[in-house]
């Protein structure tokens, strides 16, 4: 089937960061023929997006955007800003414009956005892609190629949901539909929890370095760099994710603390069988991912 990117004629990317910028670049690279508009408070990001030929026009005031040409809005700012943004852009939207996002938190947030934006259709989207780098200067047109992407739609407007899905398929994503609350539990576990742990691990090495006067960061190796790569992720983005998915994250943190405590006690008691049992089960599960 020929690519039609969901048939949208004008796409507004709100927030020209890593994900928003990569989406714009991907659309251009894959041959999208409609207009791509960029909105960002930061002039430099707009300049960069224009330079990279990711967007056709850039704006830092909502009222300057040619809204009559926009039939898809993609929120690509930190998730904490979505509710405020949705309220601000709603008066500008023409009939039938679809609103979507690329945020890592769904759940109650997409329910709220759906309600605020009615009668416009909001379609929640979470591309499982990204790097620890931020900003459009690190954007990549192939970021979503062969990457999984979760849609968490609400409501009955199947046609608009499918249009959004087609757009992402046409830039190479492997799409999947999921309940927004299930999404938040799953990603609290496999993504938000690991990020929280990575940040805390680096923090603990800062504490240990201070405590002993030995700069532990002079001794990376043994998996430490891989393990903590995600601790280089954007603090603003992750603060928002942690707060927006707070309940799920706190629950997974609790379960993780129990697992760590279990291992710690086995080491304290020198219970070799228990240690082997924990390590072997974890190893087997981890190997099953490769």
Q: Pick out residues in 125-184 that bind a second copy (CB under 8 A).
A: 128-130, 132, 147-148, 182
Pairing label, strands 121-127, 148-153: antiparallel
- Closest contact distance (angstroms) between CB of 152 and a second copy is 14
Q: Could you tell me the CA-to-CA distances from 65 to 60, 62, 236, 253, 281 in Å, in that order?
A: 9, 6, 26, 43, 55
Q: Could you tell me which stretch among 11-19, 42-50, 111-119, 271-279 binds a second copy (CB under 8 A)?
A: 271-279
From the CB of 76, what's the least distance to a second copy, in Å? 17
Residue selected from 44, 53, 96, 259 as contacting a second copy according to rule CB under 8 A = 259
Separation of alpha carbons 177 and 151, rounded Å:
5
Footprint on residues 83-112 left by a second copy (CB under 8 A):
104
- Measured CA to CA, the distance from residue 75 to residue 87 in angstroms comes to 12
Should residue 213 be labelled a site residue for a second copy when binding is judged by CB under 8 A? no
Distance of alpha carbon 95 from alpha carbon 108, whole angstroms: 25
Please, are residues 76 and 101 in contact by the beta-carbon 8 Å criterion? yes
CB nearer to a second copy: give 172 or 194: 194
Contacts of 230 (CB under 8 A, 6+ apart): 132, 194, 195, 198
Q: Residues binding a second copy: what is the number (CB under 8 A)? A: 89
Strand ranges inside the chain, DSSP E: 10-14, 35-39, 57-59, 72-75, 98-101, 121-127, 148-153, 174-177
CB of 159 to a second copy, least distance (A): 28
Q: Which is nearer to a second copy, 22 or 252 (CB)?
A: 252
Q: How far is the CB of 109 from a second copy (least distance, A)?
A: 15
Q: Does 285 bind a second copy (CB under 8 A)?
A: yes
User: Site for a second copy (CB under 8 A): which residue of 2, 95, 156, 226?
Assistant: 226
If one asks whether residue 52 binds a second copy (CB under 8 A), the answer comes out as no
- 281 touches a second copy by CB under 8 A: yes
Does the protein bind a second copy through residue 187 (CB under 8 A)?
yes
Task: Verify cis geometry, omega within 30 degrees of 0, for the bond prior to 119.
Answer: yes
Considering the complex, state which of residue 62 and residue 278 has its C-beta at the smaller distance from a second copy: 278
Q: How far apart are alpha carbons 90 and 98 in whole angstroms?
A: 11
Which listed residue (38, 101, 186, 213) binds a second copy by CB under 8 A?
A: 186
Is 122 one of the binding residues for a second copy (CB under 8 A)? no
| Dihedral angle of Cα 241, 242, 244, 245, to the nearest 10 degrees | 110
Indicate if the alpha-carbon torsion angle 92, 97, 102, 104 is positive or negative: positive
Task: Select from 40-48, 113-121, 165-173, 187-195 the region that touches a second copy (CB under 8 A).
Answer: 187-195
Q: Which stretch binds a second copy (CB under 8 A): 12-20, 45-53, 107-115, 231-239?
A: 231-239
């Amino acid at each position: 089937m020929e690519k039609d990117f969901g048939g949208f004629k004008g796409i507004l990317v709100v927030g020209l960061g890593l994900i928003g910028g990569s989406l714009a670049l991907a659309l251009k690279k894959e041959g999208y023929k409609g207009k791509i508009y960029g909105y960002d408070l930061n002039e430099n990001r707009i300049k960069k997006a224009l330079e990279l030929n990711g967007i056709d026009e850039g704006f830092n005031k909502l009222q300057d955007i040619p809204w009559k040409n926009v039939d898809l809005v993609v929120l690509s700012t930190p998730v904490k800003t979505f509710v405020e943004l949705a309220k601000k852009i709603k008066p500008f939207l023409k009939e039938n414009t679809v609103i979507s996002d690329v945020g890592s938190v769904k759940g109650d947030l997409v329910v709220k956005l759906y309600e605020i934006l009615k009668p416009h259709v909001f379609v929640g989207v979470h591309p499982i892609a990204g790097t620890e780098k931020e900003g459009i200067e690190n954007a990549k047109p192939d970021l979503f190629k062969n990457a999984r992407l979760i849609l968490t739609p609400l409501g009955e407007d199947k046609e608009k949901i499918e249009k959004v899905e087609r757009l992402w398929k046409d830039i190479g994503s492997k799409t999947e539909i999921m309940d927004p609350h299930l999404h938040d539990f799953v990603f609290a576990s496999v993504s938000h929890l690991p990020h929280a742990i990575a940040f805390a691990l680096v923090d603990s090495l800062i504490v240990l370095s201070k405590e002993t006067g030995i700069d532990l960061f002079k001794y990376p190796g043994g998996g430490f760099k891989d393990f903590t790569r995600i601790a280089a992720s954007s603090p603003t983005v992750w603060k928002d994710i942690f707060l927006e998915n707070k309940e799920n994250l706190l629950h997974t943190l609790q379960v993780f603390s129990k697992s760590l405590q279990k291992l710690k006690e086995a080491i304290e008691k020198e219970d070799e069988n228990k240690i082997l049992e924990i390590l072997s089960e974890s190893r087997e599960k981890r190997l099953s991912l490769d």
